[in-house]
Structure 1
Amino acid sequence: MDSQFRRTTSPPLDPSGPSFFSIPNTSNLTPFQKVLLISLAVSFLAINFTFYRLASILSRESRKSGSIGQSAATPTGQFAHLLVVLGSGGHTAEMLNILSTSLPSLQAPWTFNFRTYVISSGDSFSAQRAQEFESALAERSAAVQEESVPSYSIITVHRARKVHQSLFTAPLSSLRCLWDCLRVLIGSHPNIIQTGTSVRGTPDLILTNGPGTGVIVILASLILLFFGLGGTSTSSPSMNESKTLAQDAAQSGQMRSIYIESWARVKTLSLSGRLLKPLVDRFIVQWPQLVETEGKRVEYIGPLVT
């Protein structure tokens, strides 16, 4: 028989020798090495926990339906909180157009009784347009249902980055914007208006279409969700609500997010879109060719700007 096919026996294992399952002796390590070893172990556990927590947040099931407004709205008759991020110029005009024409659930103003508009400092145009939109919405609400008392707030946060601002100072201004957005989401910002019969909790739905502030708002919502500070609704149901709807309210305030890419983005996504694509619950574009180039997470439900 060829020597390469001969059966060989391995030498017996030494019980006192090292093995795969043996615990290394750390008594000979220096104090610095012990601290370093403990630090590496703690860092490894922290990194794994962080990735697990982020994965659980980003993989939560989106509440998809035929209309994008219903994806995060609570049942009809339930008080809900909508947060809209407005940007200067075209972003604001496009967003308000979408709110007035392309969100069926928002055309009944008592569905989202709490509306928060977030604008950047110095953006008086967006504040004025939001007030005009709410005035028209109030007239429509009074004509349809007099008992509904919708409320809204226009909140100004620090601008993340001004035009021509130095890249060295941009991180500081972005942190100030992040702090403001965190206060907006948890309801502690001084500009938030509280109604006499209900308290506004974390938003049920966050809607943005591309301004830089929208990126900060989504990031702030993920930070709150990471630490378990989202998902507890403080919105008050109406008096004639059934027990089922009252139980459903406990699941609101989860800060679901919808990003709507600008109508002007025909072939490629904007910078905000590329950053938020893996972070939002739903990512909607207004041109069908973007679905083919950007993958499964991108949705096309027709043009939203009229």
Structure 2
Amino acid sequence: MLRLLQGLNFKNYTPRYYFIASSDTTSLSKIKELEQSVEKHKQGEYHICKIPRSRVVNQSYITSIFTTLYAILYSIPLVFKIVPDLILCNGPGTCIPVCGLGFLLKTLFIKDVKIVFVESFCRTRTLSLSGKILLYLADVFVVQWMCLKDRIQRADYIGQLM
């Protein structure tokens, strides 16, 4: 995701809201590093929102229903306060509550939120669970491997973002 953001004109996209899992310290430091690397006059305003994980790796699907519901409830006031124009997200399950709420804003005709999902680089043959869900919610669905594009008609292929 940060590779994608490096090409973004931060001046045109402000304020920016980064949603990360509350236990994710790696992304937190990388976001701050990215934001500090942008020239001050081009930087604009940004905020980091920490939300509970929807699902941790190897968590059962049954129990993930409850953790996802908790993450959605936690995210409601944040998303409805922000009312985003664009949600740009990638693989982690943290994006599911935010995208689901963005889709709800769209279906309730509150705001035409555009959702762009970029499937993880490591997904070469099958979609992630997030990808399988967001295939139906995203306005733009991007994959980084041609063989995955061949399987998913609706996907846009952009090549690797390494």
Q: Fold conserved (TM > 0.5)?
A: yes
Q: Is the 8 A contact 2:144 2:158 kept in 1?
A: yes
* Runs of 5+ unmatched residues, structure 1: 1-94, 188-200, 232-253
Pair 1:265–1:163, CA change in 2 (3 A): closer
SS at match of 2:65: helix
State which of 153, 157, 160 in structure 2 corresponds to 1:300. 157
Q: Which amino acid aligns with 2:127?
A: L
Pair 1:301–1:161, CA change in 2 (3 A): closer
Q: Which amino acid aligns with 1:217?
A: V
- CA shift digits 1:74-124 (9 cap, x unpaired): xxxxxxxxxxxxxxxxxxxxx112211xx4xx1x22110211000112111
State which of 24, 34, 39 in structure 2 corresponds to 1:123. 24
Offset, 1:286: 1.0
SS at match of 2:106: helix
Report percent identity of matched pairs. 34
Q: Which amino acid aligns with 2:75?
A: C
Q: Is the 8 A contact 1:120 1:156 kept in 2?
A: yes
TM-score if structure 1 supplies the norm length? 0.49
Distance in structure 1 (CA, Å) of the matches to 2:47 and 2:121 = 26
Distance in structure 2 (CA, Å) of the matches to 1:284 and 1:168 = 28
Q: Which amino acid aligns with 1:210?
A: G
Larger strand fraction of residues: 2
Match of 2:2 in 1: 96
Match of 2:131 in 1: 273
Q: Is the 8 A contact 2:144 2:161 kept in 1?
A: yes
State which of 74, 96, 104 in structure 2 corresponds to 1:215. 96
Pair 1:290–1:161, CA change in 2 (3 A): closer
Match of 1:113 in 2: 14
**Map of 1:226-265 to 2, 5 A cutoff?**
226-229=107-110, 231=111, 254-265=112-123
Offset, 1:180: 2.2
Distance in structure 1 (CA, Å) of the matches to 2:49 and 2:14 = 17
SS at match of 1:283: strand
Distance in structure 1 (CA, Å) of the matches to 2:108 and 2:151 = 35
SS at match of 2:54: coil
Pair 1:224–1:120, CA change in 2 (3 A): same
State which of 273, 278, 285 in structure 1 corresponds to 2:143. 285
Offset, 1:285: 0.8
State which of 161, 184, 190 in structure 1 corresponds to 2:78. 184
1:174 aligns with 2:68: yes
Q: Is the 8 A contact 2:84 2:102 kept in 1?
A: no
Q: Is the 8 A contact 1:182 1:221 kept in 2?
A: no
Pair 1:170–1:292, CA change in 2 (3 A): closer
* Runs of 5+ unmatched residues, structure 2: none
Higher Cα Rg, which structure = 1
**Map of 1:36-115 to 2, 5 A cutoff?**
95-100=1-6, 103=7, 106=8, 108-115=9-16
Aligned alpha-carbon RMSD (Å):
2.0
TM-score if structure 2 supplies the norm length? 0.88
Q: How many residues align?
A: 162
Distance in structure 2 (CA, Å) of the matches to 1:149 and 1:261 = 26
Distance in structure 2 (CA, Å) of the matches to 1:164 and 1:290 = 23
